Chains A and B, each alone.
Chain A
C-alpha cells in the first residue's frame, strides 16, 4: 500500500490501477482503465490528482491526502456543489501531465516523489488558478467533516488533538435537567 516508488516492472496501466486502489481504498477488484471507480474522474486523472494531492499533504505518521480519502471528497463534490469546476479539473490535470512530461519525461503518476514535488511546485507558479483550486479542495477534504467523503475516520481531527467524536458539549451537559452537569 505504501510503495510509492516507481517500479518499471509495472506496466503503466497496472500501476494506475494499483495506485487508485491504494490511494482511495475503493477496493473494488474490477477497476479497469475503461470503467472508472470514480463518479467523475477517469482512472488516469485520478492517478494524476493523487500525485498532486499527496504533495500538498504528504504522509508522515498520519496519512497523506489520498490515504485520508481526499480524492473521494473531490470526486463526490465535483458532481455536486463543485460542478462548476469540472472543466478546470479536466484541463488542469491534462496540463499537469504535460508539465511532467517536459520536466521528467513521464506522466506525473509514475514520477518519483521528488520529481512530483518539483512538478507541483512549478504548477503553483505556472498554473496558479488550478493549483489553488486543488489546494483548497485538498485541505477541505482532509480537514473538513468526514460526512463529505474525506477525512476518513476523522483522522485529521485526531491528528490535531481534537476529541473525536466531538461530544464534549454533550458530555458536559445534563440533557434531563437542562443544565451543565
Chain B
C-alpha cells in the first residue's frame, strides 16, 4: 500500500477533525475506523436497542460478539463484559464515533477546569493536576469547533462562563415546557439559567436543515441529519479534499516501530479480516480513552516492551468520566411535552466556588425520555411491580422533571486501563481491562449536587422528589467512564507523570500523537465533546505547523 503522511486511527469527534485539518493542509491521510458508516436512515427509532438504552444491544457498535472487555470488581475478581452491558463502559464504534448518536450538548469547560490543582490543591490519594494549556489557549479553537461543527444555544445570561470572542453561530431552539417551569424557579434561587449549547441545527446551517423536535434523539442517529457530529461535518470535508481516504471496519493491531524508536506505520485487520500494513510518516491515535490506551499498550516492541509512551507506567491511568447525580421532581400537572431534544435549560453556577468542595458540575434538565426510562424514576414509595407500579407510570410519566448533571470526577491513578492477555477479541488482540474507582471526594460533591437539583425542583413546584445518587458503598468498583471516558494518556510537561505533551505528541516518540479525550487531564463538569473537538483543532494546528517547519519524515 502506498505510504502516506499520516494515519489517523478512529473517525470520532477528534479523529474526524484531525483528518480534516491535516488533509486540507496538504498531507496525505488514511483515516481508519473499526466500525461502519451509518447515515440518518439508520435512526431506527428502537427504544430498546440504541446507543443509550442497550437492553437488546447497541446500535452503533461495537457488536456484542467478539468484542469483550474485562472489568475488575471491588474484591479484585475479574469479569467479562459485553459491549451492551454497563460495565463495558462503551462509547461507540462507527464513523462519527459518539457524535453520531450523542445528545449533542456542546459545552466549553470553564477556565478553572484547566487549573484544578492550582484552584483546589490535591486531595489526598488523588492525581488532580493542571492542564499544561489554559482556557485562553483553547478559546480560538472552541470558536472554530463551534462554527465548523455548528452549535446552537445561548449562554449569555450567566457570568459563570469563560470569555467568549465570538457568539455561537445559531440561536437556541425554541424552549420546551420544562424550561418554562424551571427557569423562573432558578431565577428565584439566584441562579443564572441558560439555553444549553447544542451541536444541533436550530436554523438551516452547513447545508442541512434544523431539528424537527422528535422523540428519537439522544442515543439515536438524527433522522433529518440536524444533529452535528464529525460524520456530517469535518469528515466529508476531509474526503472532499482529495487527500484523505477513509477505510471502515478496519481494526488496528499495533503501531509499527523501527529500530530508531520512531513509528513507521501501523498494521491492521481490514474488513475481510486480512492483516494489512499501512506505512506512514506519523501516526495519530484517536480511538477514545479506553481503546487508545489499549492500542498503545498492545504496541509492544523491542525498544518499548511495555507499550508506546509507557516508560513510566502512565498509559491507561487516571481513567475518568463523570459522576452523574441529580433529582427527580414529581408534579401535579403535566410538565412533559414530548418535544425533543428535551434537555433545554442548565445552570453553571455550581461548577466551582463551593467552600470545601473541589469543583462541582453543571445541572440541566434531562434529555427526552421514552417510557422505558421512567420505570425506575417513580416516587420512592412506589411498589416495584403490580397495579401500584402501573398506576404510578400512568400518573407520573408526563408529570416528572429530571434535573441531573455531570459532577467533575477527582481522578486517581488507580482507576486504569491495562490489557488482559488471557482474553482476546475476535482479531486475537488482548482486550482492555478496567479497574479502580474515582476519588471518594467525587461522591461527596455528587451528593451536594443532587440536593441542589432537588432544591431547584421543589422551587419549581414539585410536590415530591427523589434523589438520584450512587454511592461507592453500593458498588465499590464504580467506574463511570462510558461515553465521557477520558484521561488515560494525560497531557503534561513532565514525562514521568504524563504521556503526551501540550501538542498531544507522545513524550518519547515524536511522530506518534494521541488526540482524543485520553489527553484530558481533568474532565470538567460538562459533557466533554466540544472540548475534545477544540483540543483536536489545537493539536492539529501545531502538528501542521511543525510539519511545515521540520517535517516528521524519517
Residues of A at the B interface (CB closer than 8 Å) are: 55-58, 60, 62, 77, 81, 117, 120, 124, 135-136, 139-140, 143-145, 147-148, 156-157, 159-163, 166, 168-170, 172-173, 175, 177-180
Contact = CB atoms under 8 A, between A and B. Distances in A.
B45 A145 contact: yes
B355 interface: no
Closest 7 CB pairs of A and B: A169-B214, A178-B209, A173-B212, A143-B371, A169-B212, A56-B385, A160-B397
B372 interface: yes
25 contacts: A55-B386, A56-B386, A58-B387, A81-B57, A117-B386, A124-B384, A135-B385, A139-B372, A145-B45, A145-B46, A148-B48, A157-B371, A159-B393, A160-B371, A160-B393, A161-B397, A169-B212, A169-B214, A169-B223, A172-B212, A172-B213, A173-B213, A173-B224, A179-B203, A180-B213
Contacts of B204: 178-179
A60 B57 CA distance: 32
Contacts, number: 98
A147 B393 contact: no
A69 to B, nearest CB: 14
User: Which of B47, B340, B374 has the largest count of A CB atoms less than 10 A from its CB?
Assistant: B47
Contacts of A180: 210, 212-213
A108 B210 CA distance: 54
B396 to A, nearest CB: 10
A148 B56 contact: yes
Given A56-B386, A168-B338, A162 B214 contact: no
Contact of B371 (A55, A162, A163, A170): A162
Interface string B349-387: 000000000000000000000011011000000001111
Nearest to A136: B55
A143 B374 CA distance: 10
Contacts of B46: 145, 147
Nearest to B207: A178
Contacts of B57: 81
B385 A144 contact: no
A151 B26 CA distance: 55
A162 B338 contact: yes
B166 interface: no
A148 B213 CA distance: 25
Given A148-B56, A178-B209, A143 B214 contact: no
Contacts of B223: 169
Contacts of B374: 143
B294 interface: no
Given A58-B390, A135-B385, A179 B209 contact: yes
Given A55-B386, A58-B390, A163 B210 contact: no
Contact of B393 (A120, A143, A145, A166): A143
Interface string B192-214: 00000000000110001110111
Contacts of A139: 372, 375
A4 to B, nearest CB: 14
Nearest to A177: B209
A143 B375 contact: yes
B339 interface: yes
B386 A81 contact: no
